[in-house]
Structure formats: C-alpha cells, structure tokens
Structure 1
C-alpha cells in the first residue's frame, strides 16, 4: 500500500530523516515511535504530501507521489488519504455532522447520509447535532476520525491521535482503527504510547532520523 525508498529530509545542515526505507501492505496498522526530535512528524508529513523530501521516493497505492507539485499532492490527499490530528481541528460553530460533511465538501459533494454513517461507525450517531464545545475530548477525537474516513480513504495517517485522551477513550480509538483494518484500510499512526504502538502489526522506531528498529508482528483481527 505504501513504500518509501532511501527517504531523506534535510533542513540546512540538519538531517531530519536519513535514508528511511520501509513498506506496509494494505489492511495493516503501523506505528511510528521514537523520542521527540527523532523525525516522526517529519516522516508522516512527507507521506501526507505536506512537505517535500530532499531525496528518496514515496509510493502510495502504486502511485509515486515524490515529484508531484503542491496542487497534485493536494488532490491526491483529498482522494486517497485521511488525516487525524492530535488537536482535533474541528470548526467550533459547526455541528459534529457538519464538521464531517466539511471534508466531503472539499473532496466532492457533501452527502449527509454518508457523513451520518461515519459518525455512527465511531459511536456518535446520537451526537450529530452537538457543537464541539458540547463534546468531550474523546468524542471530539471520534468526530475527527469520522471526518477522516468519510471519503473512504485507502490510507489513514494519525499523528498522536490519543495524546489528549484518557485510557478508556484511547482504547475506543484503537478499537476503531482495528475495525478499519478489517475493512482493508491501511493505518499509520505516530505515538509516544508504547502500549498503543505494541498493538500494531508493525512498529518502526526512529532515532536521530534513522530507523532504529523495524519489527513486524501479527495483530489479531477484531471482528
């Protein structure tokens, strides 16, 4: 589903990523772990097409996006990727349902029924008309997940998706990711949480911009 080959990112004399190569198949969950400054966010931003690599290649779903210009990357992102942020980034004056439909608007045309289905999948069908200020932190993150999946992306990128959540909501978010995996979605998540990372099929540990350890394990599929 996704592969990188000798991926490098330099900021002047600072090498943020140094020859990162890995591949992840369809229907897998991979965690990117490592201390602050190890290159985790830089790597996920390159995969998302939000930044440009210094060298190396990135391929998603068989499409090499390395040399895409900004407009091509934006279109590819809309059509193939879902992005989940730690800080939710919900629009305060829109309801949960409208926040999900906003992603549909930029993708193609809003579809209220599809947006509601996405909210129901994350257990928030009864909170569709609530504003973000009326939702708990866990509910806001689940709205953000619904927004990320409403356009049926092949690849979901999650940057510290449980960083602001308690243990119960963290477990709920991971259960949603496992359900998406069963549906064939590929999920890459950045996390400092070792217990969360260890539940993934694959774990990449970064240190000083290099792969410190790449371990593959099997994750029991949740029906």
Structure 2
C-alpha cells in the first residue's frame, strides 16, 4: 500500500469512527454496501442517464462544453449530503463517503455553491467544524485535499442561468460538475437532478 492509499484508508477509518461515536450502527451496513457502491461508480452510465442534460448544456453553450470521451469513477456530493455528513445524521451517508475516500481511483467533488450553501446553514455550530475538516482540512501526501472544491468557472454562467432550478444554482452547478465525466451524484434530493435531465444519482437515504 503506497502513501496515498494509506492516507485514504486512515481518513475512511476516521469517518467510520465518527459515525460510531455518534451512536450509529455501521459495520454490517458498510460491508453489505461496499460491492454495490464500487460497481455503481465504476460502471458506465446506463443509456439516457446523462444525455438529456448534456444536450441542453451543449445547446446553451453552442457545443463549447468539454466532455470526456469516457466516464470516470468519481463521486460528486451535493449540499444535502455534505450537510448530512457534517451532522452525522445518516450512517448510509458515512458508508458512501468512507467507501469513496478509500478508493484511490475516486476523486470526490463538491460544487463551491453547494459548499457555500451548507456553510451558511451550519456556520458557528459543531457540524460546521466537521465540514471544514472534510473540505478544507488535512491535505494528502501529494498536497491535494480530501475533497475537491473547484474554483467557480465563469464560463458556466450561461448554462447555469438556463438550468436554474427553483432558485437553487448549487443544484445546477453540481450537475454540471458531474456531467463532463458522467459521474455519480450523491444527493438526498435526486428528483432535483432528474428534472434537469441527469439521472445518474444515488440517494444515501435509500441506498
């Protein structure tokens, strides 16, 4: 096991420990879900899961939106999931996060708009400190954070304007971050993404 894998394994263990300390039953759930979660992220999207949103974005951007020729096994977290992690209120969220953290092939991505929405909700509370440790905390051996919060790209604005969902730009931006690689989005509100035309989601509360 190399240094990066060791660091990821330690973080996964830390997340599991946080849920145990919060009184959540975890071990059986974790073991039963691991194969499903790994295969879910590493398989190609099913036909129609991402096509509708991609067609809309390509139309709005006049074909200028970059898309990878192959899907990637990354995981995109939305505001509801990172808020749930910070509160430790659902052990399945912890399972999904710990499994993704332990997988060296998985990049975990959060929209800065989703981060801001969650931070405003939790500011000044104990969960806010947990959120900061996850998103801003200890960098890995290569200097990379555990969770990637990419800088907001101004080129996304025309598409975001066209995709506005009930005054929730963080939902549209989360979908756009998942779209180039057809990633799985972990969300507590899959319907919001399905209405946009992005069906490749996993709901931790129902996984």
TM-score by length of 1: 0.26
* More strand, by proportion: 1
* More helix, by proportion: 2
TM-score by length of 2: 0.27
